[in-house]
């Protein structure tokens, strides 16, 4: 999932452009350092000399209507050279071409993704050349992208592709083609042959310097001298993009790496078990090996035979494992959140996975077979041939080796159990975190009236009517609207300037923002601690107002009352927004994040109003009222498509998915490791008792009772278990320090 190359032409030549460092303006995406403005894209495209081609893409959402049916879809907005640079061939018709990305809004065409073509149009080739309605614009279908190509953002799956020149049709209220302060585009390039990443970065910097100056001049928010100096020193960074835009790998790298580590530990425990079995088998073959050595066989030849037997065992196991993997490789994909895009992840085996597994099987065979082979070919030939090798334990060295392997198994299983305990407790702490609002009995969903080409006034009126209709439904206690739903990870930031406040050098002037309706805080049950809530009078043309949280007040005003004070939002030295209220802190981004400064403004005073989320609090189970909510929205506007209706409790569960997955995997592999270690402990104990049958019989004959015999055996078991604990505890403490950043509410040594 992390290393699979894109199904495109020469993926190793692709690079992704980013510019880490301070930023200002609007960023429509989580990976802000990888987002670019449209003007910056055009300037880099036209003036660089390191790429054979530079192309752009950005994700979006839209409503697609066809034959009277409208639904919300995922859109990939791409530059005209997108498919050509990637070397993609159509499954039917033609793909978007450079000619489709010319004059703005003059080429209304779309290319269908293969999966969407199958789902919505039943693979009907006659759709090519027909028109569909994308938001409010009629678009002609040019063709179908090939099967197995899901775009460049692994883990997501667009339904249609649209030329960059038609961005205004997809985002009618956020057409930012000429705005240097709005960043939403990923830029990728194909390096010219012979060009290295280091050389390309150096050459690109000469083009990027003037772009930085133009971006700085276009900023409207507060800009300190410290920010100015740091901003102008930003550098373009190129990273390999053979796997696409690493949005998924950024999120999944830590849990998948941890998963691989857990599997590796279980494999080590299994290797120790097999080594123990081979040592026991070697003891049983000592007479055979002694005879062969006595007849002149070279020790190396005998060791080679034993190693071949071990390798054959491991390769048979690998073959069985690969056979099972063919059937189970997609299980991890299927447990991902069902947001409609996870199906684009490909968990199927490829040649690299098979080669890696085969190599690992060879290494496992060597690890498991080497020690038994060494010990089995070192018998004392003469006593063995005279059947005197059974000295009770089959050899002191061999027994110590087997006990050491069991100690290692116990230590490794303790390590996995400690990890399972840490992640389980961390998840429990997160689930007990108070988000600052009531998550129960609440339904949420998304709509976007702006996609239909409505004016700002009509969009506001549509949303107000929708809120009123939802609030009037029987069983609904409150309804509100917001542009950002808590705990989705979807954030919006804007620059804030407070008169009289001197920013510290490390301060980030961009703060989290949300645009909400009157009644939002009541619907969320976030207490208002000072001032007033928004009202219907707080709309476009009225004095600008804001509600802030306590963290904002603490940062900018200390103990002073901020109500009535004015602040500037994305405007330098212009303080035209009055603070009218203060609310309690809430966790809007993630449960693990401490509440940060937050600013709320009325959505009706936002000029670029588009997607909005409805928040409906109910007296009973919200699921029972969801059909009524859909019906009310459809009665209001049949072109208003509802997207992703769910409960807030389901959203909380989604936000904890990674933590839950890690906790479950740790517990599963910890239990498996403990089972394997128990089998190993039993095997050594059973072998020891079997070899000591004569000794135990003599002890009993001399009057030893059953309890004393039990004590002898259990003392041996206890020493191995204690040895494993002694070795495993420091490892567990080291593990807790390594994974401390992924834990919540647990100290680094709290094992």
pLDDT at 600: 93
pLDDT at 747: 66
pLDDT at 332: 65
Residue 392: pLDDT band with limits 50, 70, 90: very low
What is the overall mean pLDDT for the chain?
Answer: 85
- Does 631 have pLDDT greater than 50? yes
Tokens of 353: 């996975």
- Does 439 have pLDDT greater than 80? yes
For the chain, what percentages of helix, strand and coil (3-state, to nearest 5) are there?
A: 50, 20, 35
Integer Cα distance of 398 and 418 in angstroms: 30
Any idea what DSSP says for residue 342?
A: G
Integer Cα distance of 630 and 639 in angstroms: 12
Count, residues in the chain: 751
- Does 626 have pLDDT greater than 90? yes
Tokens of 49: 């000399």
pLDDT at 335: 61
Rounded to an integer, the average pLDDT of 609-624 is 91
Stronger pLDDT, 48 or 614, i.e. the higher one: 614
- Does 341 have pLDDT greater than 50? no
DSSP track, 547-595: EEEHHHHHHHTTTS--TT-EEEESSTT---EEEEEEE-----S-TTSPP
pLDDT digits (tens, 9 = 90+) for 348-382: 788 888 899 899 999 988 888 887 888 777 766 55
Q: Any idea of the CA torsion for 343, 347, 351, 357, to the nearest 10 degrees? A: 180
Phi, psi of 618 (to 5 degrees): -120, 160
Rg (CA), the chain: 33
- Does 344 have pLDDT greater than 70? no
Integer Cα distance of 349 and 737 in angstroms: 34
Q: 93 - beta bridge partners?
A: 143
Integer Cα distance of 720 and 715 in angstroms: 9
Burial class (CB within 10 angstroms; exposed 0-12, middle 13-18, buried 19+) of 629: buried
pLDDT at 148: 87
pLDDT at 88: 94
Closest CA relative to residue 673, chosen from 263, 258, 266, 271: 266
- Does 131 have pLDDT greater than 90? yes
Any idea what DSSP says for residue 4?
A: P
pLDDT at 384: 58
- Does 437 have pLDDT greater than 80? yes
Integer Cα distance of 67 and 189 in angstroms: 39
- Does 343 have pLDDT greater than 70? no
pLDDT at 130: 95
Tokens of 133: 């309605």
Pick from 360-374, 452-466, 679-693, 704-718: least confident: 679-693
Integer Cα distance of 325 and 407 in angstroms: 30
Integer Cα distance of 600 and 588 in angstroms: 12
- Does 550 have pLDDT greater than 80? yes
Q: Which residue has the tokens 């199927």?
A: 348
Integer Cα distance of 688 and 679 in angstroms: 14
DSSP track, 403-427: HHHHHHHHHHHHHHHHHHHHHHHHH
Distance of CA 250 to the CA centre of its chain: 6
Pick from 273-287, 687-701, 706-720: least confident: 273-287
Q: 17 - beta bridge partners?
A: 238
pLDDT at 617: 95
pLDDT digits (tens, 9 = 90+) for 411-428: 888 888 888 888 888 888
- Does 526 have pLDDT greater than 70? yes
- Does 391 have pLDDT greater than 60? no
Stronger pLDDT, 249 or 731, i.e. the higher one: 731
pLDDT digits (tens, 9 = 90+) for 235-282: 999 999 998 888 777 777 777 787 888 888 888 888 888 888 887 777
The answer to whether the beta carbons of residues 28 and 182 sit under 8 Å apart is yes
Q: Strand 566-569 to strand 612-618: parallel, antiparallel, or no bridges (unpaired)?
A: unpaired
Closest CA relative to residue 468, chosen from 648, 641, 635: 635
C-alpha distances in angstroms, 627 versus 184, 470, 615, 622, 624? 35, 12, 15, 10, 7
pLDDT at 340: 45
Phi, psi of 524 (to 5 degrees): -80, -15
Look at residue 36 and give its three-state secondary structure.
strand
Rounded to an integer, the average pLDDT of 527-548 is 92
pLDDT digits (tens, 9 = 90+) for 397-408: 556 777 788 888
Tokens of 664: 């479950």
Integer Cα distance of 405 and 434 in angstroms: 46
Rounded to an integer, the average pLDDT of 646-668 is 85
Tokens of 377: 């070919």
Q: 65 - beta bridge partners?
A: 70, 133
Rounded to an integer, the average pLDDT of 59-65 is 89
- Does 146 have pLDDT greater than 90? yes
Task: For the chain, give every domain's residue range.
Answer: 11-240, 252-430+660-742, 442-655
Pick from 157-171, 334-348, 656-670: least confident: 334-348
pLDDT at 128: 95
Rounded to an integer, the average pLDDT of 299-324 is 88
Percentage of the chain exceeding pLDDT 70: 92
Q: Where are the alpha helices (DSSP H) in 473-558?
A: 520-524, 550-556
């Amino acid at each position: 999932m992390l290393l699979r190359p894109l199904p495109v032409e020469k993926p190793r030549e692709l690079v992704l452009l980013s510019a880490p460092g301070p930023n200002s303006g609007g960023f429509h995406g989580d990976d802000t350092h990888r987002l670019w403005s449209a003007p910056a894209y055009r300037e880099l495209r036209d003036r660089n000399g390191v790429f054979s081609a530079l192309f752009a893409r950005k994700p979006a959402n839209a409503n697609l209507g066809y034959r009277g049916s409208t639904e919300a879809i995922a859109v990939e907005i791409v530059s005209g050279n997108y498919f050509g640079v990637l070397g993609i061939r159509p499954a039917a018709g033609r793909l978007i071409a450079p000619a489709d990305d010319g004059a703005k809004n003059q080429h209304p065409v779309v290319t269908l993704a293969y999966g969407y073509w199958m789902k919505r149009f039943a693979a009907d080739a006659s759709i090519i050349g027909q028109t569909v309605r994308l938001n409010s614009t009629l678009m002609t279908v040019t063709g179908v992208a090939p099967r197995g190509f899901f775009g460049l953002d692994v883990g997501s799956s667009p339904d249609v592709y649209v030329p960059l020149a038609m961005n205004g049709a997809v985002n009618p209220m956020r057409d930012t083609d000429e705005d240097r302060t709005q960043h939403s585009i990923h830029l990728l390039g194909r390096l010219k042959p012979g060009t290295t990443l280091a050389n390309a970065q150096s050459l690109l910097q000469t083009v990027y310097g003037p772009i930085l100056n133009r971006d700085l001049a276009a900023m409207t928010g507060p800009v300190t001298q410290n920010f100015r100096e740091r901003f102008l020193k930003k550098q373009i960074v190129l990273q390999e993009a053979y796997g696409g835009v690493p949005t998924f790998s950024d999120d999944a790298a830590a849990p998948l790496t941890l998963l691989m580590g857990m599997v590796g530990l279980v494999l080590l425990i299994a290797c120790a078990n097999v080594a123990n079995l081979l040592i026991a088998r070697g003891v049983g073959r000592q007479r055979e090996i002694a005879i062969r050595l006595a007849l002149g066989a070279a020790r190396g030849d005998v060791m080679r035979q034993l190693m071949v037997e071990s390798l054959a065992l491991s390769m048979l196991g690998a073959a069985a494992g690969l056979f099972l993997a063919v059937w189970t490789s997609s299980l991890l994909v299927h447990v991902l959140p069902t947001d409609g895009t996870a199906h684009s992840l490909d968990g199927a085996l490829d040649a690299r996975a098979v080669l890696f597994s085969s190599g690992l099987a060879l290494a496992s065979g060597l690890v498991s077979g080497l020690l038994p082979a060494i010990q089995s070919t070192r018998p004392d030939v003469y006593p063995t041939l005279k059947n005197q090798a059974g000295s009770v334990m089959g050899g002191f060295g061999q027994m110590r080796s087997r006990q050491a392997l069991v100690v290692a198994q116990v230590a490794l299983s303790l390590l996995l159990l400690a990890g399972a305990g840490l992640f389980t407790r961390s998840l429990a702490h997160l689930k007990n975190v108070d988000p600052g609002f009531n998550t129960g009995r609440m339904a949420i969903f998304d709509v976007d009236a702006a996609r239909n080409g409505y004016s700002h006034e009509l969009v506001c009126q549509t949303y107000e009517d929708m809120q009123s209709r939802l609030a009037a439904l029987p069983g609904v206690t409150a309804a509100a609207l917001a542009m950002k739903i808590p705990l989705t990870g979807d954030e919006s930031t804007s620059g804030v300037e407070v008169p009289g406040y001197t920013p510290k050098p490390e301060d980030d002037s961009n703060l989290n923002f949300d645009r909400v309706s009157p009644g939002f805080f009541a619907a969320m049950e976030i207490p208002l601690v000072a001032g007033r809530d928004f009202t219907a009078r707080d709309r476009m043309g009225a004095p600008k107002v804001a509600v802030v949280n306590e963290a904002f007040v603490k940062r900018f005003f200390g103990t002073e009352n901020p109500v009535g004070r004015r602040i500037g939002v994305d405007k330098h030295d212009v303080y035209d927004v009055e603070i009218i209220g203060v609310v309690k802190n809430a966790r809007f981004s993630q449960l693990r994040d401490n509440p940060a400064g937050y600013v709320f403004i009325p959505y009706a005073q936002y000029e670029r109003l588009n997607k909005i989320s409805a928040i409906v609090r109910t007296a009973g189970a919200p699921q029972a009222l969801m059909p009524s909510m859909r019906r009310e929205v459809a009665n209001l506007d049949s072109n208003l498509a509802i997207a992703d209706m769910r409960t807030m409790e389901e959203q909380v569960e989604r936000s904890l998915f990674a933590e839950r997955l890690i906790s479950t995997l740790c517990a599963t592999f910890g239990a498996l490791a403990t089972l394997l270690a128990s089998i190993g402990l039993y095997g050594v104990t059973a072998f020891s008792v079997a070899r000591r049958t004569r000794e135990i019989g003599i002890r009993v004959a001399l009057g030893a009772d059953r309890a004393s015999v039990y004590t002898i055996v259990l003392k041996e078991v206890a020493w191995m278990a204690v040895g494993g604990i002694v070795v495993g505890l420091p490892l567990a403490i080291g593990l807790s320090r390594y994974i401390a950043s992924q834990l919540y509410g647990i100290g680094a040594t709290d094992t």
